[in-house]
Amino acid sequence: MSGHSKWANIKHKKAKADAQKGKVFTKLGRELIVAARAGGADPANNFRLKIAIDNAKAANMPNDNIQRAIQKGAGAGDGAAFEELRYEGYGPAGAAIMVDIVTDNRNRTAGEMRHIFSKNGGNLGETGSVNWMFKEKGQLTIPQEDLELSEDDLMLMALDAGAEDMDDDDENYLIITAPEDMEAVHQALLEQKVLISEAAINQLPLNTIEIADPEHAKKIIRLMDALEEHDDVQGVYANFELADSLSDEDLD
């Protein structure tokens, strides 16, 4: 998945910059609010909230911020104003894109999503226009540099716990599970002292298209960046890979 790794590495660099700017705390806080609202404030009985808390802690979000967000979601604040939405559309070169949103103003967000797509060479589609190209999967991200096990041992451990597959993006191992099995696999890895930097239910493409043209590549990177920078966006999923033939200069 080397072409995918090229895009993944770009995302990692940007994620680090977002963390430094504090933008990531906004997104984590909204997920905490929505998770607590959906399943209650007790992480022992709300796996989505437990994962949200783990992800927030992995990003070094202060405990006070975490607790305030949970309280908002549980009703002690304005958390009830947020709702979850999904937008679907196409980017340059016909890449399929889905965007998960948490917003307190769906009309404003809809207009902004439409503007971002059109400004960056894409177009917003109707509900159902591209979601058939994706499959919902659990994904556990494990930094390679912090792993004390071998790759083979990690894979065997994950498969024994119920995982479907393991992949990598040069910097991390990615454990793929059925959504309903992610909790068991997550717990099994934690019990073996495996550091998990992120856990999420993601939309993985059933098939991918390769983008080799530098202009198309630049345009889709700009579109993905614009979507991911939006405060209401919780996740962006796409079915493209960047060709290995593209150099860093091609993508600048």
Q: Locate 214 and state its tokens.
A: 């530098």
- Tell me, what CATH number does 23's domain have? 1.10.10.200
Asked if residues 99 and 233 have their Cβ atoms less than 8 Å apart, the reply is: yes
Q: Which residues of 236-246 are buried (b: 16+ CB within 10 A; e: fewer)?
A: bbbbbbbbeeb
pLDDT digits (tens, 9 = 90+) for 119-176: 999 999 999 999 999 999 999 999 988 888 899 999 999 999 999 999 888 788 999 9
Say how far apart CA 43 and CA 29 lie, in whole Å.
Answer: 15
Residues 163, 212, single domain; the answer is no
Range(s) of the domain holding residue 225: 83-132+207-251
Tell me, what's the pLDDT at 1?
39
Q: Locate 4 and state its tokens.
A: 């995918």
Residues 14, 115, single domain; the answer is no
Number of domains in the chain: 3
Tell me, what's the pLDDT at 2?
38
Tell me, what's the pLDDT at 165?
93
- Tell me, what CATH number does 235's domain have? 3.30.70.980
Residues 77, 25, single domain; the answer is yes
Say how far apart CA 96 and CA 238 lie, in whole Å.
Answer: 6
Counting as low any pLDDT under 70, the low residues of the chain are: 1-22, 76-80
Residues 9, 77, single domain; the answer is yes
Residues 128, 213, single domain; the answer is yes
Q: For the CA atoms of 115, 116, 121, 126, what is the dihedral angle to 10 degrees?
A: -70
Say how far apart CA 24 and CA 32 lie, in whole Å.
Answer: 12
Residues 158, 224, single domain; the answer is no
Residues 198, 236, single domain; the answer is no
What's this model's pTM, rounded to 2 decimal places?
0.84
Tell me, what's the pLDDT at 176?
95
Tell me, what's the pLDDT at 3?
41
Among 88, 143, 144, 140, which Cα is nearest to 117's? 88
Q: Kindly provide the residue ranges of all beta strands, DSSP E only, lying in the chain, ordered along the sequence.
A: 83-90, 96-103, 123-124, 134-143, 165-168, 172-177, 198-205, 209-211, 233-238, 240-242
Among 243, 240, 237, which Cα is nearest to 87's? 237
Tell me, what's the pLDDT at 13?
60
